[in-house]
Structure 1
Amino acid sequence: MTTEASHPLYVPLAPLAAPRAEEPRRRRRPPVPPAAPPVPALRLAPGRLRTGIAAGAGGVGLLWGLQARPSARLDVLFASGAHLTGLLAGYGVLVLLLLMARVPAVEHGVGADRLARRHALGGRYVLGLIAAHGVLALCGHAVHTHADLFTAAGDLLSYGAIAAATAGTALLVAVGITSARSVRRRLRHETWRAVHLGALLAAALGFVHQLAGPDIAGGLLTRWLWSLAHALVAVLLVWYRIVVPVRAALRHDLRVAEVRDEGPGVVSVLIRGRGVDHLRAEPGQFFRWRFLRRGLWATALPFSLSAPVRDDTLRITVKALGDHTRRVRRLRPGTRVLATGPFGALTAHRRTRRKVLLLAGGVGITPLRALFETLPGGPGDVTLLYRAPDAASVVLREELEAIARERRAALHFLLGPSDGSFDPLAPRALRNLVPDLAAHDVYLCGPPAMARAATASLRRAGVPAARIHSEDFDRA
């Protein structure tokens, strides 16, 4: 038998000066400082955003009330109504621009799709206020001058500020028409975007009109505050939609590193750069990607991360559904990429329960795959249900199965046509797969029709609406 002392590579240690000579003293290593926790992203809660908007509207109403002069005269009543609706419309335009300024704290706290919905709803209110303002002002001027409506309209348009406001209104109406779903589906994204940019010019023309009106021009403090509000929104728009993306492009130098086939019509694009961790992208979030090659550079495409950030590499997984997504498959390594973001609130911060259900449909698996890997939890705490028409349509299957094995998490593929006799997303079917479903937080991402049906089923299965977290990336 070969003992330690007789082993040819064994060399006995010389005794060292120590309190106990028979034990060698071990050199103490300096303690390793703990890693600094990541700085949490600033998030503005949806309730606070609503409160802030309402408080601003109340301030505008107070401004009107302080300057109103009570009178029973018909022309004064028309004029007072015109002043109030005009001030609220001007304030509403500022709110709409702020919602779409891509301010990170607002995007991370509220969610890009919710902001888009509120922007669309707010646009209808603003157009209604503008129409009311125009009608009331026209009626008031007609009564005051004892003229018919056509003569009064011609008289009003002779004023430069009113003509500017009329042109701005026409631009806003064009934006509203092209934003209707039935119209937008028929337009190219570039056309819709070009028309939508007209809202910026409309806001500027409206500002010129407001400065000439009695409510704003009547006092130095009022004029200063109104101008400051417009300047603040303009700075936010320029900073977050122009300066920040350009600065990020220069700083991170993002380029396509690899394009991998993941299945029929599906590819993953690996994008590598410098200091990518400084982007502070969280699993579940998305970027707006602009690939600088022919046919893609003019459009910013919203794609979520399909894996956590590693080694200065971002990954997105794209299914060919249109001209732009088909061109993504033909990207070459080295193609420069401009990325704006991260955006979205479908992240771990929404979690309120120990147990989590991830419910994906189609290519909506991409943000949930990243969450499936990273959401904290022990065995059985995280469950992923993946709805797809057939096995060939399942994306990233091997990765999902590997994550499930490593985490000892539940993974179910719900396969079958959407119009089949059995609905795997029905309330009873969901409760069979997840018996304590009502005790879960649910993260949901998929096609709009599937997401609506799944939300209704989850509600009927006992999941409160506040614990169903979803985000529509197409709308965002």
Structure 2
Amino acid sequence: MTTMTQPRVLTFRRSIRVARVAIVAFLVLNLAAVQVMFAAAGPAGDLFGTIGRLLGLYLALAMAFQLLLVARLPMVDRAYGMDRLTSWHRWTGMAIFWLAAAHPAFVLLGFARQDGVPVLDVAVTLAKQPPVLLGMIAAGLLLVIVALSIRVARRRLSYETWHAIHFLLYVVVLLGVLHQVYEGTAFKVNVLTQAYWWGLWAFAIGALLAGRLVVPLIRNSRHRLRVAAIVAESDDTVSVHVTGRDLDRLPARAGQFFLWRFPGQNRWWQVNPFSLSAAPNSRSLRLTAKGVGATSAGLRDLPIGSKVYAEGPYGAFTAAHRTRGATVLIAGGIGVTPIRALLEDPDLTGHVVVLYRVRAVEDAVLLGELRNLADVRRARLHLLTGRTGTGYQPFAPERLLALVPDITARDVYVCGPDAMTTSVLASLRRLRVPSRQVHAERFRLAG
């Protein structure tokens, strides 16, 4: 990997600003287009029906936006990072759920008031029509997805199971499109509205197929990734070295992650987002994982030479997003993997301080490599051990300031358990570290 020159860094930052402006403009224009279509269609039979029609338009628009988030478009990923996009994915999903509940409710109320019959009777009558029934089934599946995505339920599911359940989203989209074909009225006002509406959906579905199917298939066919070596880092942590063809053409950067599948060893839906634990080069890639799920626990048993299917790279947790000359890298547990890769990255210039949080020294995976890299680049490495309690808060504001007195003048990269990351981010806010200097990776993946 070649080091990014200052002009290249400036060009990258300008491209991010342009991308963000384009994304915001896309959202605003589509919201405006929906309002124009709604106005052109005119009111429905009564107020409730009119509100139901408007909510239906916003529901369909939100579903199209959700497809674009799940597509993981490179431009959007580079501009905002997968962690922020996943947060938007969650909020968009909740909006879709409430719109899916409110849209039919207002439509039913509208028909009930017009015909002077009970709402339940209207629901039974409409359910006998296949297009309406498809919409009801889609709403029911949405209820299942949202219910299983609530934090309490999510914690009881393995990542692989939760990821597989999210495939129901595609079924919901299919049913929703069929429902629009037969029941949509507001976008059928004229040829222009129909061209816009189906153009938007064609773009969303095309982006999804390209980003999640076509591009990964082409890349994996080109690079032909294979397991080159398995190295046990501790009793429950293993590194997998992956080799392949023309890896210099793979646009991966230190700090990014891939979705990894191992055909023949795991089922096709068993996939995990593992960060690169070393800066990528033209010869190999390396991932390091702790055995907590079905996929990660089986990594140490992978045969040498077995096939690897990787989707990505993803994430904006890279040196290209720095805004200052010096950096703080904060890692917790297995979250050290992208931090270790960043420490090796020649693009991460300037002075670096590394804070590595573990309960005990024996839990510090890749500690030897961190120490060697810190010595080479004259970085400061602090290993923070011990149990967090009332008397010991390793990432309290005053503690961070004692370890890194000039932390407000540095970029801060944070990766670790969710509780630790939340604590660090809260302390950085109290220390008034500008948000543009804070970069976090939580591995809350969309779709």
Mark yes or no: TM-score above 0.5: yes
- What CA distance in whole angstroms lies between the structure 2 residues aligned with 1:198 and 1:361? 33
Instruction: Report the structure, 1 or 2, having the larger helix content.
Output: 2
Contact 1:385 1:414 in 2 (8 A): yes
Contact 1:256 1:272 in 2 (8 A): yes
- Report the Cα offset of residue 382 of structure 1: 1.1
Look up the SS of the partner of 1:469 in the other structure.
strand
Look up the SS of the partner of 1:95 in the other structure.
helix
The one-letter code matched in structure 1 to 2:281 is R
Partner of 1:468: 438
- Report the Cα offset of residue 452 of structure 1: 0.6
- What CA distance in whole angstroms lies between the structure 2 residues aligned with 1:460 and 1:230? 43
Look up the SS of the partner of 2:218 in the other structure.
helix
1:383 aligned onto 2:353: yes
- Report the Cα offset of residue 420 of structure 1: 6.6
Q: How many pairs are equivalent?
A: 437
**How much is the aligned-residue C-alpha RMSD, in angstroms?**
2.4
- What CA distance in whole angstroms lies between the structure 1 residues aligned with 2:114 and 2:193? 26
Partner of 2:26: 52
Q: Which of 407, 412, 421 pairs up with 1:437?
A: 407
Look up the SS of the partner of 1:329 in the other structure.
helix
Contact 1:302 1:474 in 2 (8 A): no
1:413 aligned onto 2:383: yes
5+ residue gaps in structure 1? 1-33
Query: Superposition pairs for residues 229-308 of structure 1, below 5 Å?
Result: 229-295=200-266, 297-308=268-279
The one-letter code matched in structure 1 to 2:224 is D
- What CA distance in whole angstroms lies between the structure 2 residues aligned with 1:203 and 1:95? 11
Partner of 1:140: 110
1:394 aligned onto 2:368: no
The one-letter code matched in structure 2 to 1:418 is T
TM-score of the pair, normalised by structure 2: 0.91
- Report the Cα offset of residue 338 of structure 1: 0.3
Contact 2:259 2:311 in 1 (8 A): yes
- What CA distance in whole angstroms lies between the structure 1 residues aligned with 2:368 and 2:390? 26
TM-score of the pair, normalised by structure 1: 0.86
- What CA distance in whole angstroms lies between the structure 2 residues aligned with 1:244 and 1:405? 39
Partner of 2:334: 363
Contact 1:45 1:110 in 2 (8 A): no
Q: Is the radius of gyration larger for structure 1 or structure 2?
A: 1
- What CA distance in whole angstroms lies between the structure 1 residues aligned with 2:160 and 2:433? 40
Contact 2:82 2:315 in 1 (8 A): yes
Select between 106-115 and 95-104 the one with higher mean Cα deviation.
Answer: 106-115
| Residue-by-residue CA offset, 1:222-279 (whole Å, 9 max, x unaligned) | 2222112111111111111111111112110100000112223222111000011211
Contact 2:53 2:103 in 1 (8 A): yes
- Report the Cα offset of residue 292 of structure 1: 1.7
Partner of 1:13: none
Look up the SS of the partner of 2:432 in the other structure.
coil
Contact 1:284 1:371 in 2 (8 A): yes
- Report the Cα offset of residue 368 of structure 1: 1.0
- Report the Cα offset of residue 46 of structure 1: 5.0
Which has the higher relative contact order, 1 or 2, with Cα contacts under 8 A spaced 6 or more apart? Answer: 2
5+ residue gaps in structure 2? none
- Report the Cα offset of residue 375 of structure 1: 5.0
Partner of 1:310: 281
- What CA distance in whole angstroms lies between the structure 1 residues aligned with 2:151 and 2:319? 32
The one-letter code matched in structure 1 to 2:40 is L
- What CA distance in whole angstroms lies between the structure 1 residues aligned with 2:33 and 2:206? 22
Look up the SS of the partner of 1:280 in the other structure.
coil
The one-letter code matched in structure 1 to 2:23 is L
- What CA distance in whole angstroms lies between the structure 2 residues aligned with 1:228 and 1:462? 44
Look up the SS of the partner of 1:257 in the other structure.
strand
- Report the Cα offset of residue 474 of structure 1: 4.5
Partner of 2:66: 96
Contact 1:82 1:137 in 2 (8 A): yes
